Structure 1
Amino acid sequence: MFTFGIGTVLLVLLVVLLFSAIWIFREYERGIVFTLGRFSRVAGPGLVIVIPAIQQVVRVDLRTVVLEVPTQDVISRDNVSVKVSAVVYFRIVDAEKAIIEVKDFFNATSQLAQTTLRSVLGKHQLDDMLAEREKLNLDVRESLDVQTASWGIKVSNVEIKQIDLTESMIRAIARQAEAERERRAKVIHAEGELQASEKLFQAARVLAQEPQAIQLRYLETLTVIGADKNTTIIFPLPVDLLASFLHKPA
């Protein structure tokens, strides 16, 4: 049988206490030190010595955390139901607050992100959700960042990943887009008719000022008609020429 002396036991206890008193924190880590249950200091990075059984340490990671926000049912301002998913990027800037002010900062941020996403997007119409996603990302980030500041958390970015619509809404948007294209085509056609009428009006004014120009236009018209190999040609006569014959004295 093996027997251990008091000295050996004390040596083992000393080694155990020594190992439990030494903490090593990486560059992106901090340690929240509590002395008899009361906050003492924020330690790290590097080697940190604590008093075993008197002081406790909570390790905190300061790197950016990627939080997947589950798909949320959102009702837009114009009463359209959509499903929205997003991702939130945040990091701890105050390790003391992240441990003391909130029990589970990750879960708390996740729940807050879900409610904030529904609240902010619910204030916008469906067209804004589809066309102004960058603005919505900024609104959600600012609202979320303000609320998490008391927890020592900084929200650096929010990205809306996907907005899912129902089949009926997709068909309605397609019909709306088609109607918009038809409207634009009609507007363009009307603008072309307006420009053409303005040009014809200007041409008529020029021809009215120069009678010789009208004769040249007649000749050009006859040339075009002759090139088409028509069997019947109608010669237009100027009204003033006919008037001279009608009013000629007998």
Structure 2
Amino acid sequence: MSDSVARELGRKTAGLSTRASVVLFALLAVGAAVALGVVEFDPLLVAGVALLLVAVAAVSSAVEIVEAYEKEALTVFGEFRTLLEPGIHFVPPFVSRTYPFDMRTQMLDVPRQEAITEDNSPVTADAVVYIKVMNAKRAFLQVDDYKRATLYLAQTTLRAVLGDMELDETLSKREKINRRIQQELEGPTDEWGVRVEAVEVREVNPSPDVQRAMEQQTSAERRRRAMILEAQGERRSVVERAEGDKQANILEAQGEKQSQILEAQGEAISTVLRAKSAESMGERAVIERGMETLETIGQGESTTFVLPQELTSLVGRYGKHLTGSEVDDEGGPELESRAFDEETRELLGIDSIEALAAGDGDVDIEVESADIELEDDIA
């Protein structure tokens, strides 16, 4: 029997024990006084004392004081009469009994229970149940001891609820366990005039073997997370290094490309300038160069010279201008520079170099290369 039930039973018999003690003490006092000769034995005196004691006991039995947080069930000759509200009441002496009921919220400590979960794992759990008497008459008439009955019902319900759940649920879903236990208790306790206000499961512990297995599982999960984080860090480091190498290679390739572009531009400009110089010379420059060659040839010891036909024709046509001789120049035009035809100008890029020489700005010069593309925005 729990301590709370024992205290309740003691309170039920407290009033009767007190009254009987008063009467018994008074009788013992009178008997001791007669035996010691303090009071002479007189039947009238004895009768008077007896009547006085009976009167005191009757008054004491007839007066009932109910505390503010209680209600008391009154029975007369074993028959239920009424509920005594808080305050002072007068009841039939000697033939009435009262049974107090605490109307405050009361706590029932459910001892630790062992159960087997749905996945055959042993667990132990304990709980606390909070109840309140809503109808003291029904609590008095419908059940022998409402506290003990509620406590035993909570124990069996706790084992049943744990047996319907898997181990993981019992460890993680306390609110679900509390709610199910409270729902199971509400039906029977309502008939007893008692309301279950709350149920709180304090601890759910698996068996030692299961606890060790869970600890090993937790350690393995932590190691796995650590390995994942380490692998992610290494991967990120490799990616960063690869990105750095990629950027370095791109910058190096861009620098090499720009160098090749500038070198190609320089060669193209040099070629076009040489072509432009050759164009400015024309036929006159060719004839003058040929005459210098003839002069060099004439200084030799040989007396026989073989000249190209084109050179002799040019000399015949423009001899007056070059040597001052009396060559008939009728119909002979003066020597003039001959311009490049369109195909030659396009091949040599004469137009582009003229624009560049005139300072018209940047001129795009295409250079054939398998790996280099010319861009207008070269730095």
- Same fold by TM-score greater than 0.5: yes
Alignment counterpart, residue 164 of structure 2, candidates 120, 123, 136: 123
Show the counterpart of 2:106: 65
Figure out how many residues of one structure are paired with residues of the other and give that number.
217
Cα deviation 1:149-182 (Å, max 9, x = unaligned):
1111122222222222222211211232234445
Alignment counterpart, residue 4 of structure 1, candidates 6, 24, 44: 44
Deviation for aligned residue 1:217: 7.1
Show the counterpart of 2:86: 45
Cα deviation 1:111-162 (Å, max 9, x = unaligned):
1111010011211111111112133222222322332111111222222222
Show the counterpart of 2:250: 214
Show the counterpart of 2:120: 79
Query: 1:105, 1:217 → 2: CA distance?
Result: 92
Query: 1:244, 1:69 → 2: CA distance?
Result: 86
- Choose between structure 1 and 2: higher strand proportion: 1
SS in 2 for 1:140: helix
| Residues 171/218 of structure 1: CA separation in 2 closer, same or farther (3 Å cut) | farther
SS in 2 for 1:60: strand
C-alpha RMSD of the superposition:
3.6
Unaligned runs of 5+ in 2: 1-40, 256-367, 373-379
Query: 1:80, 1:121 → 2: CA distance?
Result: 10
Show the counterpart of 1:167: 208
SS in 2 for 1:70: strand
- Give the alignment of 1:151-230 within 5 angstroms: 151-181=192-222, 214-215=250-251
Deviation for aligned residue 1:47: 0.4
Query: 2:128, 2:52 → 1: CA distance?
Result: 52
Query: 2:117, 2:188 → 1: CA distance?
Result: 23
Show the counterpart of 1:88: 129
Query: 1:143, 1:131 → 2: CA distance?
Result: 20
| Residues 2/131 of structure 1: CA separation in 2 closer, same or farther (3 Å cut) | same
Deviation for aligned residue 1:192: 8.5
Deviation for aligned residue 1:23: 0.4
Higher relative contact order (CA 8 A, sep 6+): 1
Alignment counterpart, residue 64 of structure 2, candidates 1, 4, 23: 23
Alignment counterpart, residue 36 of structure 1, candidates 53, 57, 77: 77
SS in 2 for 1:4: helix
TM-score, L = length of structure 2:
0.49
Deviation for aligned residue 1:183: 5.4
Unaligned runs of 5+ in 1: 208-212, 220-240, 246-250
Alignment-mate amino acid for residue 189 of structure 2: T
TM-score, L = length of structure 1:
0.71
| Residues 244/103 of structure 1: CA separation in 2 closer, same or farther (3 Å cut) | closer
Query: 2:48, 2:61 → 1: CA distance?
Result: 20
Query: 1:242, 1:171 → 2: CA distance?
Result: 73
1:141 and 2:182 are equivalent in the alignment = yes
| Residues 244/100 of structure 1: CA separation in 2 closer, same or farther (3 Å cut) | closer
Deviation for aligned residue 1:2: 3.8
SS in 2 for 1:177: helix
Alignment-mate amino acid for residue 75 of structure 1: I
